[in-house]
């Protein structure tokens, strides 16, 4: 964000000097099809004096400098005096965009979310609005519980500027899609967004990012709209075998499920592994490649192969530093965490302890939140609930979304449950249930840890009855191979979870929804 503003500031200065020299540039133009020797000599153009910034331009540059220096109190005030000035509309378009973007960033940092949102609405109207301006507007809309406005903005961006859309964080796009469930016309808006993304030829920068989750939902929506030919055309894009399983276990996909029925999950996973290995040969600068390869190897039970690829990637990072991979900052902690999980699956628990601790260690301003949760889960599984609470005690909650807070509360709830603190369990459960759009990973975990198996079963039954949530619930209820447990609490949680899956009321709801539960010959892909 600061880098973007630094670039804008340098461009502001450049634009001023270019404006002063525009006449010179025009006077010096010659036709390209005239040979240099044939050109008649012409008098040197008269160079005008450098442009002197107007007071408004100077204030704009001052305010942007203050933002770059993280001096948001004066920066916000200075930039407000610029965009509130009657002469603001007369500034160069890129300068207007930079002023509004800088002011928006500062109001957000200062916690003035409504003011920031109002500015962001102005900022995205500028013809040179950046991906930062659009991304901030969409994030603010979601933070202010306006998922419809976030969805409308993202669709508008996809239609207006695919190039700017390509720079928006994938996480922002996926969050908008997830939060659409709060809209009364969620399915129609989701299909509208997916088709706008397709038309814009949007794809993640990460070549290993799998979009099967979006594609399978788009197939569902197209079939519901009686567009079978369009749905069939998307089936080949389902590269993730676990997601492709939905075609087989959900009768709504029957019209397009022939190819999926012909291949078992283990074979499909091995084919996908070959595809990803070939992709990794041409994209070996992405750490997400080894991560994806190791994930697929774990699904087919090749723990040793998973560990080899992860350790090789970690060794390369240790030898060359973050510059070894394009996505090192975002992915290295995940690779370390997956190494720890792999060691645990292999029964090498002492090594797993050290690997989990390394993965969860903060890296600068990055507090490694997901890795801390994974380590805490492992500590609870191995009967060390108090250590899990100690690990989570200092997690900073300011940067967390409602979903992040729900996951944190679910993990604390599980630890308190082991320790017998029923009051703390009840307190954390309120947080787990608080998001307007429930996160079922946190909710199911919390309910089972609290011993509320009836509540967990009811949650699955409700999801199965909801057309938009049915597919994920069916995928979670399949009978996958299970990795070994590591302690008394781990075994107890898994036993309770399997009881919920097998309950007659849950199985009756599966049948009523046109679903099927199968024995699947891959290890649990982590759906819940």
On average, the pLDDT of the chain sits at: 89
**pLDDT bucket at 496, cuts 50 / 70 / 90:** very high
Residue 518 tokens read as 């199968």
- Give the integer Cα–Cα distance in Å for 78 and 73: 9
Q: Is the predicted pLDDT of residue 131 greater than 60, yes or no?
A: yes
- Give the integer Cα–Cα distance in Å for 108 and 399: 12
Q: pLDDT tens digits, residue range 187-243?
A: 999 999 999 999 999 999 999 999 999 999 999 999 999 999 999 999 988 999 999
- Give the integer Cα–Cα distance in Å for 188 and 173: 17
Polymer length in residues for the chain: 528
At residue 53, the pLDDT reads 86
Q: Is the predicted pLDDT of residue 11 greater than 80, yes or no?
A: no
Total-model pTM: 0.85
Three-class SS of 362-409: CECCECCHHHHHHHHHHHHHCCCHHHHHHHHCCCCCCCCCHHHHHHHH
Q: Is the predicted pLDDT of residue 487 greater than 60, yes or no?
A: yes
Three-class SS of 95-116: HHHHHHHHHHHHHHHCCCHHHH
At residue 364, the pLDDT reads 63
Contact predicate 176/138, CB 8 Å: yes
Q: pLDDT tens digits, residue range 95-107?
A: 999 999 999 999 9
Dihedral sign of CA atoms 231, 237, 242, 244 in order: positive
Q: pLDDT tens digits, residue range 180-193?
A: 999 999 999 999 99
Dihedral sign of CA atoms 142, 148, 154, 160 in order: negative
Residue 414, classed as helix, strand or coil, is helix
Nearest to 241 by CA among 203, 163, 297, 162: 297
Bridge partners (DSSP) of residue 523 are 481
- Give the integer Cα–Cα distance in Å for 257 and 524: 22
Counting residues of the chain whose pLDDT is more than 90, the rounded percentage is 84
């Amino acid at each position: 964000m600061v880098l973007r503003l630094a670039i804008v500031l340098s461009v502001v200065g450049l634009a001023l000097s270019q404006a002063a020299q525009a006449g010179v540039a025009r006077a010096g133009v010659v036709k390209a099809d005239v040979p240099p020797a044939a050109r008649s000599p012409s008098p040197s153009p008269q160079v005008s004096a450098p442009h002197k910034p107007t007071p408004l331009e100077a204030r704009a540059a001052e305010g942007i400098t203050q933002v770059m220096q993280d001096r948001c109190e004066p920066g916000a005030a200075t930039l407000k005096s610029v965009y509130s000035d009657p002469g603001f509309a007369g500034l160069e378009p890129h300068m207007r965009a930079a002023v509004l973007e800088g002011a928006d960033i500062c109001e957000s940092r200062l916690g003035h979310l409504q003011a920031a949102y109002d500015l962001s609405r102005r900022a995205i109207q500028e013809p040179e609005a950046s991906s930062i301006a659009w991304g901030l507007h969409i994030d603010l809309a979601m933070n202010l519980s306006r998922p419809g406005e976030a969805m409308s903005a993202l669709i508008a961006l996809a239609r207006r500027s695919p190039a700017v859309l390509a720079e928006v964080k994938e996480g922002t796009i996926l969050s908008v899609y997830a939060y659409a469930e709060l809209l009364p016309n969620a399915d129609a808006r989701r299909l509208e967004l997916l088709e706008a993304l397709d038309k814009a030829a949007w794809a993640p920068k990460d070549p290993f990012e799998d979009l099967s989750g979006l594609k399978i939902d788009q197939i569902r929506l197209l079939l519901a709209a009686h567009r079978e030919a369009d749905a069939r055309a998307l089936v080949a894009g389902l590269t993730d075998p676990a997601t492709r399983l939905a075609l087989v276990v959900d009768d709504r996909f029957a019209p397009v499920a022939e190819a999926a029925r012909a291949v078992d999950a283990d074979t499909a996973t091995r084919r996908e592994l070959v595809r990803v290995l070939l992709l990794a040969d041409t994209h070996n600068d992405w750490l997400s490649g080894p991560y994806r390869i190791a994930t697929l190897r774990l699904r087919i039970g090749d723990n040793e192969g998973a560990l080899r690829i992860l350790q090789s990637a970690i060794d390369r990072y240790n030898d060359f530093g973050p510059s070894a991979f394009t996505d090192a900052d975002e992915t290295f902690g995940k690779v370390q965490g997956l190494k720890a999980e792999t060691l645990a699956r292999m029964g090498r628990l002492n090594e797993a302890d050290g690997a989990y601790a390394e993965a969860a260690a903060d890296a600068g301003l990055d507090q490694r939140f997901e890795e801390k949760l994974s380590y805490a889960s492992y500590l609870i599984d191995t009967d060390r609930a108090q250590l899990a609470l100690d690990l989570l005690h200092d997690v900073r909650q300011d940067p967390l979304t409602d979903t992040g807070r729900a996951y944190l509360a679910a993990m604390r709830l599980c630890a308190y449950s082991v320790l017998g603190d029923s009051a703390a369990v009840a307190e954390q459960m309120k947080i787990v249930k608080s998001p307007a759009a429930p996160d079922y990973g946190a909710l199911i975990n919390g309910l089972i840890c609290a011993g509320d198996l009836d509540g967990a079963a009811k949650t699955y039954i409700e999801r199965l009855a909801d057309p938009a949530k049915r597919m994920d619930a069916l995928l979670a209820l399949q009978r996958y191979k299970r990795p070994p447990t590591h302690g008394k609490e781990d075994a107890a949680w898994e036993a309770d979870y399997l009881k919920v899956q097998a309950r007659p009321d849950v199985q009756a709801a599966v049948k009523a929804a046109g679903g099927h539960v199968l024995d699947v010959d891959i290890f649990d892909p982590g759906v819940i």
